Structure 1
Amino acid sequence: MALAWALLLLLLGIEPLVTRAWCSEEDLDSHIQQASEPEFPTTLDFAVRTFNQQNQDWHAYRLVRVLSSQREDSWAQTTPKLTFSMKLLLRQTLCGKYEADIDNCPFQEGPELNNTVTCFFTVSTQPWTAKFELRKKRCLDGIS
């Protein structure tokens, strides 16, 4: 009987180790990408900041979700670069695009608003020199 209880406790103790978080595979992949690539968050910030600077709208957009991302290393040139391609879901906020704290600004709400944009960015970076270059940007209204 003691062996059965010990086995039960052992199994119950192991179960939480295999329990997955309540998030989609897409979200999980995004978190893995961001955790495994220390240069990715600053490159992501550059892409969103550049989108806001180039956008004609007065309101700022901020990141809702990273839909996909990929890293490519370029060693063929004299100066090595990292290149990230990323598909992002952005949403319009209540804040102006030149306000200081856009990351905490609430999203615009309303069923009549089409305030989401899906963008594909390719950004090259030399993180050791803090240089970024937007190589490609393609955006579509809504979720695609």
Structure 2
Amino acid sequence: MSCPSGKMAQPCPVLLVFLGFPLLVNAAWQFPKETNITRVTSTYFPPTVEFAMHTFNQQSKDEYAYRLVRILSSWEEKVDFPTVFSMKLQLGRTICRKFEESIHICPFQYSSDRNNTITCYFTVSTFPWTTAFKLLNQSCLE
């Protein structure tokens, strides 16, 4: 699918989908330099993280959305089928309600009387060729 000719001022939506996703997650996907972390390099890992975040926000009783601050650690489980990823994520509470559309760009909440970050461990199985995911485990520490 290509962009219609004569409309060069407006970006092609399909191109934005492919080019925009890495820009959205780039800042949060930086690993701390002082830790020894197994880095997952699979192309199936970013959608799996997105699924874990979406599921967390849907199940959360908090009215505000959380988004990814940083990936603390991640690894691919040694199983034959399906692909299973485990990850430890630092999540930050945003100023947006969890059913708003632009959660991925919503600013984090900052408060002196409340800790607005959570560390969660997720295990997710994925069938990448069908974009099917299943949350196997989730545990969080405030």
TM-score bucket of the superposed structures, by smaller chain: 0.7 to 0.9
- Alignment match, 1:70: 75
- Alignment match, 1:24: 32
- Alignment match, 2:52: 47
Assess if the C-alpha contact under 8 Å between 2:67 and 2:104 holds in 1.
yes
Uncovered stretches (5+) of structure 1, i.e. residues with no partner: 1-22
C-alpha distance in 1 between matches for 2:98 and 2:89: 18
2:111 is aligned with 1:106? no
Shift of 1:40: 0.5
Question: Closer, same or farther in 2 for the Cα pair 1:58/1:26, shift >3 Å?
Answer: farther
Assess if the C-alpha contact under 8 Å between 1:81 and 1:124 holds in 2.
yes
Instruction: Give the superposed CA RMSD.
Output: 1.9
C-alpha distance in 2 between matches for 1:24 and 1:125: 26
Q: With structure 1 as the length reference, what TM-score do the two structures score?
A: 0.72
- Alignment match, 2:133: 132
SS at match of 1:74: coil
Which structure has the greater CA radius of gyration?
Answer: 1
- Alignment match, 1:121: 122
C-alpha distance in 2 between matches for 1:132 and 1:24: 27
2:92 is aligned with 1:91? yes
Uncovered stretches (5+) of structure 2, i.e. residues with no partner: 1-30
C-alpha distance in 1 between matches for 2:135 and 2:106: 25
Assess if the C-alpha contact under 8 Å between 2:82 and 2:126 holds in 1.
yes
Shift of 1:28: 9.3
Shift of 1:24: 3.3
Which structure shows the higher helix fraction? 1
SS at match of 2:104: helix
How many residue pairs end up in the alignment? 112
Assess if the C-alpha contact under 8 Å between 1:72 and 1:83 holds in 2.
yes
